[in-house]
Structure formats: C-alpha cells, structure tokens
Amino acid sequence: MTAPMDDESLPEQVPMELSIPVSMAEVGDKAKRLKFVADKDQRKAIAKRLDLLSLDRFEGQLQIRPWRRAGLVLQGHIIADLSQACVVSLEPVADHLDVSFTTHFLPQDMIDELEKKMMEEGEIFIDAENDDPIDPIIQGSVNVGESSVQQLALAVNPYPRKPDVDFTPPESAAAPKENPFAVLEKLKKPD
C-alpha cells in the first residue's frame, strides 16, 4: 500500500538518468506526443543502473493523454540496443529490444482513496486496461523519461545467454563422492 503524501512530504528525489517531466497543464485535454533519443551520458548512466555492459541505443516515441478526469495515460514505444554479460561465460550478449507499453497515472490522493476503499469494503479494484499498479502524479507532473527507463528495465533479459554456450557443473558439484548415509550404514550392527 502506498503511503499518503502531500507536497511537504515528497520522497527524496532520486537522480534520474533520463528526466522528461510533463505537467498536467502541458497535456490539457488533448494528447501530447513526444520523442526522445538518449545521449551518450544518459545511456551510460542507464546501463550502469540496469547492470548492462553497454546501451548503444535508447529512443522512444510517447503519447500522453488525459485519463479518468484527473489522471494521465502514457502509451509508449521504446527501442534499445544493448549488451549484457552471459550468465554462463560472462561474454557479451547483444540484444535488440522493441517494446510497447502503457502506464496509468493518478494523483496520489486518489490512489490513497482507492486503496482505503478496498481495505474498508474488502473489494479489489481491478482495472481491465492496466496490468500494473497506477503510478502517482507528483506535484502535478509525471516523468515520462523515468517511466521509459523502468519499462526498459522490465524488458531486459534477466538471464542472458550466448546461443552456443552450455553450462556444465564442476565435478565436485555434480555428485558427492560418498553417500553421507554410508557412514551410518557402517555403524549399523548386523542382525
């Protein structure tokens, strides 16, 4: 459950590698389209955050529009070329990601109200349009750059593996040389 926040109790600002803030006023009652291409320094910082060997390309096309009178919905398409360490050989594994996503935002007080209602009435709020929890609108704006980086993090392969690499466990881990119960068997007296 998300803790209630007001402007005075905002969480510490975490440095964002790709900051693209969009205010509710900028969106108004129509959709706003945005494009971004992360520069070299931004890609390097994102690669460090996501534990990638490199992030050679990260760009996106975004559309943000009003949702539920007080909220926003972000629809995006991101493309990334990256390299990760193989989980078996630690050699670089190149990957190309082409991901579409949707993220919903509401003011924090509305999120708190929904959660409170669920707790009191024992009802579960299900949004058929949304797989993920609703993100908060903080001080009247959302950061679509940070949302894009989070979607990239979700799309990255958690266990990258080079195609021709097989894992063979070391001999010592393959099987114990002596069964630990064999010692007990020796102590057993014959009948």
Number of domains in the chain: 1
Averaged pLDDT, 74-92:
95
Q: What is the spatial distance between Cα 44 and Cα 54, in angstroms, rounded to a whole number? A: 7
Distances (CA, A) of 93 to 15, 58, 123: 28, 17, 45
User: Nearest-CA neighbor of 138 among 42, 72, 52?
Assistant: 72
φ/ψ of 166, rounded to 5, equals -110, 145
Tell me, yes or no, whether 103 lies in a domain: yes
Q: What is the spatial distance between Cα 20 and Cα 26, in angstroms, rounded to a whole number? A: 12
CB atoms within 10 A of CB 3: 8
Which pLDDT score, from 0 to 100, does residue 6 have?
Answer: 44
Tell me, yes or no, whether 75 lies in a domain: yes
Which pLDDT score, from 0 to 100, does residue 189 have?
Answer: 63
Which pLDDT score, from 0 to 100, does residue 9 have?
Answer: 43
Tell me, yes or no, whether 5 lies in a domain: no
Which pLDDT score, from 0 to 100, does residue 4 have?
Answer: 43
Tell me, yes or no, whether 1 lies in a domain: no
Q: Is a pLDDT exceeding 60 seen at residue 68?
A: yes
- pTM score of the predicted model: 0.75
Which pLDDT score, from 0 to 100, does residue 177 have?
Answer: 64
- Which structural domain range is residue 132 located in? 11-187
Instruction: Spell out the alpha helix ranges (H) of the chain.
Output: 24-27, 40-49, 108-121, 144-155, 171-174, 180-187
Tell me, yes or no, whether 110 lies in a domain: yes
Tell me, yes or no, whether 53 lies in a domain: yes
Coil, helix or strand at residue 35: strand
pLDDT in tens, 179-191: 777 777 777 766 5
Q: Is a pLDDT exceeding 90 seen at residue 73?
A: yes
